[in-house]
Amino acid sequence: MTPAVEGPVVRLDGVGLRYGRAPEVLRDLNLALEPGSFHFLTGASGAGKTSLLKLMQLALRPTRGLVGLFGEDVSRLGRADLAPIRRRIGVVFHDKRLLDHLNAFDNAALPLRLAGRKPADYHGDVAELLRWVGLGDRMDALPPALSGGEQQRLAIARAVVNQPELLLADEPTGDVDHPMALRILRLFVELNRMGTTVLIASHDEDLVARSGRPVLHLEDGRLTLRGKVGGP
């Protein structure tokens, strides 16, 4: 990981977002995610959870307000300056976004390859991670040959393989069974213990309760902190 910066990993000040001339999807959002924090993001379908994650992963720019990442006001940065910031973020996309021409191993290893790592240096770590998410015997399979749950687990492996400073996950357990969902939660908890700031958007109320983590809730375009829900 890149050495930690002082202050919040994610900072939102007065952020609003609208698509075209439609009413704002997100309104007056103020948020600071501190280094090493772990939150869930909840809200009804259409509440804006995916839009909020897209702002944080630099796929969207706000209509108004400030989005800060790792101490940088990203609204003032050009495309070339955004690339190194994106490399510090792991993303589990709701639609997975796997590369169909690469096998499972190469999909999972892609962030390391793009970072200039040599296959000999990361082969063992990637193979171990794929075994951990239940894909040890599917490393050579192409994504179209994988089930929906297997594709989801592969997308998660790709997002966490380089131990990002910030992990943003959009419904990461939506296509897996309950035991695997709990196993994935343990993976995220372990990554968090190693210093990664984690934000997970989820409809899985049981998973949220079992985690015992603070919950950010989106409703009517506004964000509230509900504190810890359940947990040991």
In a domain, 22, yes or no: no
Whether the pLDDT of residue 135 is over 80: the answer is: yes
pLDDT average, residue stretch 123-140: 96
In a domain, 66, yes or no: no
Whether the pLDDT of residue 230 is over 60: the answer is: no
User: Would you say 157 and 189 are in contact if contact means Cβ atoms under 8 Å apart?
Assistant: no
Task: Using DSSP, state whether 98 is helix, strand or coil.
Answer: coil
Whether the pLDDT of residue 155 is over 70: the answer is: yes
Read off the CATH number of the domain in which 121 is found: 3.40.50.300
In a domain, 160, yes or no: yes
Whether the pLDDT of residue 3 is over 90: the answer is: no
Q: What domain range is 199 assigned to? A: 38-58+79-228
In a domain, 118, yes or no: yes
In a domain, 10, yes or no: no
What is the structure's pLDDT at 5?
Answer: 57
In a domain, 109, yes or no: yes
Residue with tokens 């171990």: 128
pLDDT average, residue stretch 14-28: 95
In a domain, 63, yes or no: no
In a domain, 7, yes or no: no
pLDDT average, residue stretch 97-114: 96
Supply the pTM of this predicted model: 0.91
- Of the chain, the percentage scoring pLDDT greater than 70 comes to 95
Count of structural domains, the chain: 1
pLDDT average, residue stretch 38-67: 95
